[in-house]
Amino acid sequence: MPSKRYKKALESVEGKKTYPIKSAVEVLTKFPKAKFNETIDMAFRLGVDPKQSDQMVRGTVPLPHGSGKTVKVLVFARPGNSADAAKAAGAEYVGFDDMIKKCVEGWTDFDVAIATPDAMIEVRKLGKVLGPRGLMPNPKTGTVTEDTAKAVKEVKAGRVEFKIDKGGNIHVPIGKASFKQDEIVNNARAVIEAVIKSKPSSAKGTFVQSCTISATMSPPVRVDVREFLAAA
């Protein structure tokens, strides 16, 4: 059953009305607050067929104001410059054989994994462990690179990854309830623009079928993305 707080928040949303992003954030931030710092999420329903390889939607986007989350980073790198650079950039875990062994044993106490190209020869073998959790390094998301320092800094500064699921949906965390309204708006704009730019050339018809913004314990607010589509 929905909580009293949820029901009260729902009363301030006008049915199926879609709001310009600034107005949507204003509605969202007026909802009754939870007792913890809720995560703000955006959800997209896309008009593509995820079963078709040429209609895969995936990418990364730097959030102007960060995600508000402390990100723990693991870097797979052999001893040397790349490993040293990763440590200097602030990666919590850096290693090769030792880290691969820990992951084989089921350890996944990190949020993002980065690997150098040569390390991927062995890291690929961790597919069954890292893949289902969305932790496998991938060149398309900038997590397979020689420049480990840059990758670590970008992830910690608030670069987030998005990927379509089997149902044709994308969910992206864009901040915290403690953020100022304009910070949430700017982060949301960056994500909407990135998702629209990721439209596959083979996709036909309406690409973004719906877009919503919500907090962890709140109802979703529908977002009007037509202004972004017009500018794309």
| Mean pLDDT estimate for the chain | 92
| 3-state DSSP assignment of residue 43 | strand
b/e burial code for range 40-65 (CB count within 10 A of at least 16 → b): bbbebebebbbeeeebebebbbebeb
121 has a pLDDT exceeding 90: yes
Rounded to an integer, the average pLDDT of 89-95 is 97
Tracing tokens 């723990």 back to the chain, one arrives at 72
Residue 79 one-letter amino acid: P
% of the chain with per-residue pLDDT over 90: 75
212 has a pLDDT exceeding 90: yes
Helix H or strand E segment including 155: helix 148-157
pLDDT band at 16 (very low <50, low <70, confident <90, very high): confident
Residues facing residue 60 across a β-bridge: 161
Kindly report the length of the chain. Answer: 232
pLDDT band at 69 (very low <50, low <70, confident <90, very high): confident
pLDDT score, position 1: 52
pLDDT in tens, 154-206: 999 888 889 999 999 999 999 999 999 999 999 999 999 999 999 999 888 89
92 DSSP 8-state letter = S
Domains, the chain, in order of start with CATH, read 4-66+159-231 (3.30.190.20), 73-157 (3.40.50.790)
Q: Global pTM? A: 0.79
Rounded to an integer, the average pLDDT of 211-222 is 94
pLDDT score, position 140: 83
Query: What distance, in Å, lies between the first and last C-alpha atoms of the chain?
Result: 41
| 3-state DSSP assignment of residue 30 | coil
In this structure, are residues 206 and 1 in contact, taking their beta carbons and an 8 Å threshold?
no
